[in-house]
Amino acid sequence: MKRLLVVLALLALAGCSSGKDAVVQGSSFSFVSPGGKVDITYDGAQRQTAPVLAGEDLMTEGKQLSLADFPGKVIVLNLWGQWCGPCRTEVPELESLAKQAPEVQVVGIDVRDPARQVAQDFVRDRQLTYPSIYDPDGRVLLKLSGYPRNIIPSTIVLDKQHRVAAVFLRQVLAQDLLPVTKRLVAEP
């Protein structure tokens, strides 16, 4: 009987993982990393709409910040924390991207930073001009179904319709993002 239950469980799991795409088919984004890839791109019908991500603006208490505030813009969404060593190296690259590609909106999600003032000091010290959602408890991040919350930094690139076009599960450079964002900006 135990063996039958194990076989049935394995068959059910196999049925849930049909296909090799990184996005589960459906109308909303659900993350899967095919073959453990750290750079994932989506084209055409593979792109799924990202959930509306919104939360309190890191720098202005009481002010809400939402991806919906940037309709029709390509968005580079970066998950970071001031406690994260690679994030300290990456944020100047994202600021460089923001300056080199003003038609692209960089937005951060500051995760697992319980001391808001420390995160604000981090932003001021590095003279970052792009906004960030303050998400100390990860509630905003939970809206990204299946997204690996332990991979910080990571970056999600959304096209003009705010569909997921690329995911980088690693530290990025401006030169990694520029070709992707330029291609997306050029799309009709």
Distances (CA, A) of 177 to 1, 5, 83: 53, 47, 23
> Does residue 146 lie within any of the structural domains?
yes
> Does residue 2 lie within any of the structural domains?
no
> Does residue 144 lie within any of the structural domains?
yes
Q: Is the pTM of this model over 0.95?
A: no
Q: Output 70-75 pairs: Cβ under 8 A, ≥24 positions apart.
A: 70/105, 70/107, 72/160, 73/103, 73/104, 73/105, 73/160, 74/103, 74/104, 74/105, 74/157, 74/158, 74/159, 74/160, 74/181, 74/184, 74/185, 75/104, 75/105, 75/106, 75/107, 75/157, 75/158, 75/162
Q: Structurally, how many domains does the chain consist of?
A: 1
Q: Encode pLDDT of 30-72 as tens digits.
A: 565 566 788 999 988 889 999 999 999 999 999 999 999 999 9
> Does residue 43 lie within any of the structural domains?
yes
Average confidence score pLDDT of the chain: 84
> Does residue 102 lie within any of the structural domains?
yes
> Does residue 15 lie within any of the structural domains?
no
> Does residue 56 lie within any of the structural domains?
yes
Q: Which domain holds residue 105?
A: 21-186
> Does residue 42 lie within any of the structural domains?
yes
The Cα–Cα gap between 122 and 82 comes to: 6
Specify the CATH number for the domain of residue 81: 3.40.30.10
Q: Encode pLDDT of 119-162 as tens digits.
A: 999 999 999 999 999 999 999 999 988 788 888 999 999 999 99
